A = this chain, B = another copy of it.
Amino acid sequence: MSGRNRSNPLALAVLICLFERPMHPYEVASTLRQRHKQESVRLNYGSLYAVVASLERRRLVAPVETEREGRLPERTVYELTAAGRAEMHEWLAELVSIPSKEYPSFEAALSFLPALAPGEAVALLEERIQRLEIQLALGDAAREHVDRLGIPRLLWVEAEYRGALLHAEHEYVVRLVEEIRTGTLDGSDWWRAVFADPGRPTPVPLPGLGVHDVGHRAEKTD
């Protein structure tokens, strides 16, 4: 009843909007954008209508009326069902209380770092640092602006969280660059050597770790 259907948070956003009052999908989108939820939840119309259709199939929402104004396309207004209210609550509780494994693309990038020459890696990481600093500054500016408008922090926590992660990433990358630079990072000597050798045969050996049970045992691939 729930499992893999809880993949797209946009569906949760829809449930929460309809919890407030019945709306048609486009109105849901407008509401979410007005509240800047599109910063935290991927939103586009293609997905929105698909998601609403899926919620309807699962009987979590139901159409109440379909109105039409002039010759504009017909609007179908949906309301939340009892099951929908339950699902909303349960899902949100799960999202808050259980950290889920995610795959940030920079983590992937880092895991492939030795495939770049050390010098290039440093240059690119420094570029990233600059971009991160811009984002941090933008975040601060937004924060101040919102403060001036007197918007309570409660409605801004997601942005604070984003800022905290951004800050941590910045800190980490700065340290990492420093360690590659100074050679403090264990393995960077080998790294440099491999790329210094002209005509290296196996470009990037990346030796296997040979560890198959570190903590959380072997979540299966498939």
User: Cβ of A121: which chain B residues have Cβ within 8 Å of it?
Assistant: 96
Interface stretch (choices A55-63, A68-76, A184-192): A184-192
A37 to chain B, nearest CB (A): 6
Count the A residues whose beta carbon is within 8 Å of the partner chain — how many?
A: 103
A118 to chain B, nearest CB (A): 9
Contact between A171 and B164 (Cβ–Cβ < 8 Å)? yes
User: Cβ of A131: which chain B residues have Cβ within 8 Å of it?
Assistant: 97-99
Q: How far is the CA of A162 from the CA of B136 in the complex (A)?
A: 19
Contact partner, A36, options B9, B97, B110, B209, Cβ 8 Å: B209
Task: Decide yes or no: A35 and B96 within 8 Å by CB, A41-B108, A114-B154 being known contacts.
Answer: no
Contact between B45 and A208 (Cβ–Cβ < 8 Å)? no
Contact partner, A202, options B20, B88, B145, Cβ 8 Å: B20
Q: How far is the CA of A209 from the CA of B159 in the complex (A)?
A: 13
Bits for A4-28, please: 1 = Cβ < 8 Å to B, else 0. Answer: 0000010011001001110000000
Task: Decide yes or no: A106 and B99 within 8 Å by CB, A35-B208, A152-B190 being known contacts.
Answer: yes
Contact partner, A132, options B34, B99, B160, Cβ 8 Å: B99
Q: How far is the CA of A111 from the CA of B17 in the complex (A)?
A: 13
Contact between A186 and B99 (Cβ–Cβ < 8 Å)? no
The 9 A-B pairs with the shortest beta carbon distances in the complex, nearest first, are A152-B187, A154-B187, A168-B168, A95-B109, A111-B158, A138-B215, A142-B214, A97-B127, A97-B124
